[in-house]
């Protein structure tokens, strides 16, 4: 999947050779194909609009009160549309100018949580819960931007269910705040590193089809 190559979109998370999509997405305006919504959007209804006079699109994330900066669509290309309140709540899109509408257009972008995608691997079946289960998997973090990524850290949502993180596959921990986050190596453009995850379900635990583990990443792209 192509990247808009802006700082906020420069860390690609890959599992099983495919980019992890944290949210499912439904809805757009003609001529704009959404590619990926950042996890920071959270679930809910965002909005996307096109202004033919300005030749530009704008995005507003769920629960946001402010439209993001105007993004001119001067060529068929990928663009990163930022929310006006939170620049980390972005939407990566491809624009096809021949299909853009003649008049103004606005559409709802419905975003819903996604389970079992490597980042939010948390569906617990009754069988797994009864027997107990330990699952391990890896994510590949690849730097697709043009600036060095520094101070890259990862931590878990406080509501995580038995999830642990490791940078080497040996020492695992479950940090739940940015202050205690697991520090990862700096990444130059094109570099990758492996993040190890382990989920433990104690035997006789309750099944839960609706638990969502979330990973949080923070980094500086200088």
Partner 1 sequence: MAITAYNSTRLGNLTTVEVTNDLSGTVYFHWYLDGCYQGQTTAASWTFYLPTGDQARVECLDTTDADFDPVAGAPDAYPPRRTLWWVRSQAADVDHYRVEQKKDAGDWSTIARALPEPTQWAFTLLTGRLDDLATYQWRVVPVDRAGNDGTPITLDAHKVVRTPDAPDFSISYNSGTTKVTFSAAS
The residue ranges that bind partner 1 (CB under 8 A) are 18, 21, 24-31, 33-34, 43-45, 62-63, 96, 99, 110-112, 115-117, 123-127, 129, 206-210
Could you tell me what percentage of the chain is helix, strand and coil, using 3-state DSSP and rounding each to the nearest 5? Answer: 5, 45, 50
Q: Is 215 or 221 the residue whose CB approaches partner 1 more closely?
A: 215
Pairing between strand 77-82 and 71-72? unpaired
Q: Is 104 or 209 the residue whose CB approaches partner 1 more closely?
A: 209
Q: Is 168 or 210 the residue whose CB approaches partner 1 more closely?
A: 210
| Min dist. Cβ of residue 204 to partner 1 (A) | 11
| Min dist. Cβ of residue 100 to partner 1 (A) | 10
Q: Is 61 or 165 the residue whose CB approaches partner 1 more closely?
A: 61
| Min dist. Cβ of residue 116 to partner 1 (A) | 5
CA distances in angstroms from 63 to 29, 114, 178, listed in the order given: 20, 19, 23
| Min dist. Cβ of residue 93 to partner 1 (A) | 10
Q: Is 15 or 216 the residue whose CB approaches partner 1 more closely?
A: 15
Sign (positive or negative) of CA dihedral 57, 220, 190, 23:
negative
Which 3 state secondary structure label does DSSP give 26?
Answer: strand
Residue 130 DSSP symbol: H
Determine contact, residues 119/207, Cβ cutoff 8 Å. no
| Min dist. Cβ of residue 108 to partner 1 (A) | 8
The number of C-alpha atoms within 13 Å of 88 and in the hemisphere containing its C-beta is: 10
Which of 159, 158, 156 has the alpha carbon at shortest distance from 197?
156
Q: Is 47 or 152 the residue whose CB approaches partner 1 more closely?
A: 47
- Which ranges in the chain belong to alpha helices (H)? 126-131
| Min dist. Cβ of residue 79 to partner 1 (A) | 15
- Which ranges in 85-217 belong to alpha helices (H)? 126-131
């Amino acid at each position: 999947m192509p990247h808009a190559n802006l700082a906020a979109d420069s860390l690609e998370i890959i599992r099983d050779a495919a980019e992890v999509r944290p949210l499912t997405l439904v809805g757009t305006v003609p001529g704009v194909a959404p590619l990926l919504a950042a996890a920071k959007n959270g679930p809910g209804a965002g909005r996307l609009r096109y202004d033919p006079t300005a030749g530009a699109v704008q995005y507003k994330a769920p629960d946001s009160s402010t439209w993001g900066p105007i993004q001119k669509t001067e060529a068929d290309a990928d663009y990163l549309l930022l929310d006006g309140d939170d620049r980390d709540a972005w939407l990566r899109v491809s624009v096809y100018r021949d299909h853009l509408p003649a008049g103004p257009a606005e559409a709802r972008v419905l975003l819903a949580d996604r389970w079992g995608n490597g980042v939010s691997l948390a569906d617990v079946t009754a069988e797994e819960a009864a027997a107990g289960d330990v699952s391990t998997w890896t994510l590949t973090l690849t730097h697709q931007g043009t600036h060095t990524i520094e101070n890259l850290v990862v931590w878990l949502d406080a509501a995580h269910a038995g999830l642990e993180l490791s940078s080497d596959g040996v020492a695992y921990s479950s940090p739940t705040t940015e202050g205690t986050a697991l520090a990862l190596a700096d990444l130059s453009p094109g570099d990758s590193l492996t993040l190890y995850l382990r989920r433990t379900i104690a035997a006789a635990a309750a099944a839960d089809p609706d638990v969502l583990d979330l990973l949080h990443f923070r980094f500086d792209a200088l």
